[in-house]
Amino acid sequence: MRADPSRLSPIGLATKTIQGAGRRGQWREAVTTYHGLQASRLEADAVSCGAVLQACQASAWKLACSFLWQIQEASVELSLVCCNIAMSLSGQRESWYRTISMLIWMCSIAMRPDAQSYTPALGSSRTWGLSLWLLRQTRPNRILSNVAVASMARAWQWSFDLFYDLQAARPLPDTIFLNTFLSSLERSEQWQLAVSVLQASLKGSPVTPNLVSFNACLHACGEAAQLDQALQLVRCMEASRGPSPDVISYSAVLNACAKLVQWTLALDELGRMQRRSVLPDVVALNAAMSACAEAVQWEMCLHMLTTSSGVDPDSVSYNAVLKACEKSAQWALAMSMYWQMARSRVGCTTATYNTLLSCCQRSTKWEHATLLLSTMLSQHVLPDIISFNACLGALRRGSQWQQAISVFHWMPHVDVRSDTVTVVELFGALAAAARAPQARRVAASLVACAPLVRDCMQPALELEARRPTGLAVTACDCLVSHQLREPFECQQLLRRHGLRPVLRTLRRARWSEPSGRALQLRDPVLERQHSLGASLTKDALLDLEGREPELMPPPWMLRASQADASPLLLWLHEDPPKVGAYLRPVQVEHDRSSHAERQALLSLLAREAEATFRDGSQDFGDFRGAVRLYVTHTLCISCLAACYQYKALHPHLRLSVGFRVL
Ligand SMILES: [Zn+2]
């Protein structure tokens, strides 16, 4: 029933006009009408004030505030409704300090804010501390609790407390609260807690979990690669002990499959969801494809891409095929996929280019690598550190040192900071070229980029000391051979990260007791680099025998070099019986057991064994005198280990090892 305007009081009429203006969004008209009331000395009441505030809306929040002041000045009794309207207006503006100041102001004029006043304040709160404080100021109702738990999403511990506090209190939390809480656990990677809260809710809790609750838990399990738990939850849903699983539920399981490279299981799940008439979407398809890609099943990946009916593959789907191509070194197929992507409307992302670039690196297609890197920029796809490292890797393999330097100089222009891999790849390219005739020009380039290399090498090596330093060692050898030691601090860095750990390992092991039947010396520190390089090997030999190794060939070596090598080759053929396990080789890239240094020491050991085993002992410790070994190149890590093992067996013997730097 509508009120007859003629029967309304002047205040009532004005209020009606203000409300009408508010509905039409004409806040200026509403304000003018209100001022008209004051001019005709009519006293505005709380209803008309509320109508003006409502008309101001979010666009004139400041005006609404000034109105509140005016109302207070005019001694109109401020209603809680007016204040709550103003609060909700400021809440819409998402300005927490405004809403909080408003709350404090309300308290200062002896007004008790109610649950409706706290809702916008909690909604705009960005910190859990503030939310908790606000919640404790009032008696929480259901909406208020839901808003609070949402604002505490980043501090799951607090929302956890809140959840259990509310279970004991009235009103009880509802499904919205449960879901908000579960998604806060999901975001905080607390999958165990999410699952246990869900299971507790299933066992007779007044809060009934729905599909959103299950999917939040499943997503948390999928991201944490908890495949068994995810499967258990989906099977529970399938057995009608919960809501029926949808495509999001299965996608979470497929995501866990991809993370654990369970590609056959992923295909089973894909078939299972189709049998249950749940059609896979692009997310589910991508997760299954990614499981196949990680397992290098490129044919399966390609099959899924081409036969995906009803699903439009996106860049992630293509990237999965590219990943499989990269892992199986299918360079041509990867490039054809790239052209297919360019033809279709699927955009290439940084991940696409990075996979293609590492494919080029594996196949030594450096021309394509540099072309892809420049295409990225022309297509406005920003390259990252992976893009540059892959390109440098391809250039290293192709010994393209000039291109490598220009790519390296390009990095700061696109705000990409180099890391250890960058330096190692760059050094590798330079070291490979240094063996070529243009070595002099390489040396000049090394000097030019010395400060850059030095700046990025130190923090990178310290952070990632576990990365292989083999290439950096080779590069440093190259620098030393060009008398470029001075501009670099790389030597010191390599001493710290390459030499020290190796020496610790070599000194620590109890060589004299070969354990079991192990024919190789297994050690991660030794296995990560093929050699210590010329200058570090010198340091290692100094550590072994307490004096500088000989670098010039001794006279007996010169005589030996003129002899016929065939008996030597025959001699290298096999380990002498019984003593092979005393000097175990280190496998780096290939078997190093037949290296001449080890074989020479083994042959000595075999002769010693004949003498010692005959008298019943197996102790080589009594041998005295001197053994001199000269090597025509820098010793590899395996042969260095053989020297250390030989010395450990003979504490009273002087072992001098010399080598020639090529
Ligand atoms: Zn060797």
Per residue in 153-200, pLDDT tens?
555 566 666 666 655 555 556 777 777 778 777 777 778 878 887 887
Ligand 1 centroid, distance to 595 Cα (angstroms): 5
Ligand 1 centroid, distance to 57 Cα (angstroms): 82
Biggest CA–CA distance in the chain, Å, is 131
404: burial class by Cβ within 10 Å (0-12, 13-18, 19+)?
A: buried
Look at residue 343 and tell me if it is in a domain: no
- Using the 3D structure, point to which of 124, 157, 187 is the last residue of a domain: 124
Ligand 1 centroid, distance to 598 Cα (angstroms): 7
What average pLDDT is seen over the chain?
76
Look at residue 355 and tell me if it is in a domain: no
Ligand 1 centroid, distance to 439 Cα (angstroms): 26
Ligand 1 centroid, distance to 597 Cα (angstroms): 6
Which residues are bridge partners to 653 per DSSP? 625
Helix residue ranges, H only, 57-174: 61-73, 80-92, 96-108, 115-124, 128-136, 142-151, 156-168
In three-state form (DSSP H/G/I as H, E/B as E, the rest C), the secondary structure along 354-375 is HHHHHHHHHCCCHHHHHHHHHH
3-state secondary structure of 154: coil
CA-wise closest residue to 631 among 619, 640, 622: 640
Position 466 confidence tier, pLDDT thresholds 50, 70, 90 = very low
Ligand 1 centroid, distance to 573 Cα (angstroms): 15
Position 487 confidence tier, pLDDT thresholds 50, 70, 90 = very low
Instruction: Give the mean model confidence (pLDDT) for residues 315-327.
Output: 88
Ligand 1 centroid, distance to 530 Cα (angstroms): 9
3-state secondary structure of 594: coil
In this predicted structure, which of 49-53, 354-358, 637-641 has the lowest mean pLDDT? Answer: 49-53
Ligand 1 centroid, distance to 430 Cα (angstroms): 24
Q: Residues 31-83: pLDDT tens digits? A: 788 778 777 777 767 777 777 777 776 556 666 666 666 666 655 556 677 77
Ligand 1 centroid, distance to 512 Cα (angstroms): 20
Look at residue 286 and tell me if it is in a domain: no
Q: What is the extent of the structural domain holding 513?
A: 509-659
Q: Give the span between the Cα atoms of 273 and 251, in whole angstroms.
A: 10
Ligand 1 centroid, distance to 621 Cα (angstroms): 25
Ligand 1 centroid, distance to 620 Cα (angstroms): 23
In this predicted structure, which of 84-88, 123-127, 248-252 has the lowest mean pLDDT? Answer: 123-127
CATH code of residue 20: 1.25.40.10
Q: Give the span between the Cα atoms of 254 and 259, in whole angstroms.
A: 9
The Cα-based distances of 182 to 123, 203, 210, 233, 242 in angstroms read 18, 16, 12, 15, 16
Buried b (16+ CB within 10 A) or exposed e, 315-333: bbbbbbbbbbbbbbebbeb
| Cβ–Cβ < 8 Å for 477, 535 | yes
- Residue 177's pLDDT is what? 73
Ligand 1 centroid, distance to 642 Cα (angstroms): 9
Ligand 1 centroid, distance to 55 Cα (angstroms): 87
Instruction: Give the mean model confidence (pLDDT) for residues 18-36.
Output: 81
Ligand 1 centroid, distance to 270 Cα (angstroms): 52
Ligand 1 centroid, distance to 261 Cα (angstroms): 38
Q: Give the span between the Cα atoms of 635 and 586, in whole angstroms.
A: 13
Position 460 confidence tier, pLDDT thresholds 50, 70, 90 = very low
Q: Give the span between the Cα atoms of 283 and 99, in whole angstroms.
A: 40
- Using the 3D structure, point to which of 104, 124, 144 is the last residue of a domain: 124
Q: Give the span between the Cα atoms of 135 and 115, in whole angstroms.
A: 9
Look at residue 55 and tell me if it is in a domain: yes
Ligand 1 centroid, distance to 574 Cα (angstroms): 15
Ligand 1 centroid, distance to 601 Cα (angstroms): 12
> In Å, how far from its chain's centre is CA 543?
40
Ligand 1 centroid, distance to 660 Cα (angstroms): 14
Look at residue 29 and tell me if it is in a domain: yes
Q: Give the span between the Cα atoms of 130 and 104, in whole angstroms.
A: 13
Ligand 1 centroid, distance to 396 Cα (angstroms): 24
- Residue 250's pLDDT is what? 92
Residues near 652 by Cβ (< 8 Å), separated by ≥ 6?
A: 621, 622, 623, 624
Look at residue 348 and tell me if it is in a domain: no
Number of domains in the chain: 2
- Using the 3D structure, point to which of 62, 92, 124 is the last residue of a domain: 124
Look at residue 330 and tell me if it is in a domain: no
What percent helix, strand, coil does the chain show, rounded to 5?
65, 5, 30
Ligand 1 centroid, distance to 531 Cα (angstroms): 9
Q: Give the span between the Cα atoms of 359 and 314, in whole angstroms.
A: 20
Look at residue 73 and tell me if it is in a domain: yes
- Residue 15's pLDDT is what? 83
Ligand 1 centroid, distance to 594 Cα (angstroms): 8
Q: Residues 392-427: pLDDT tens digits? A: 999 988 888 788 888 988 888 888 877 767 776 777
Ligand 1 centroid, distance to 427 Cα (angstroms): 23
502: burial class by Cβ within 10 Å (0-12, 13-18, 19+)?
A: buried
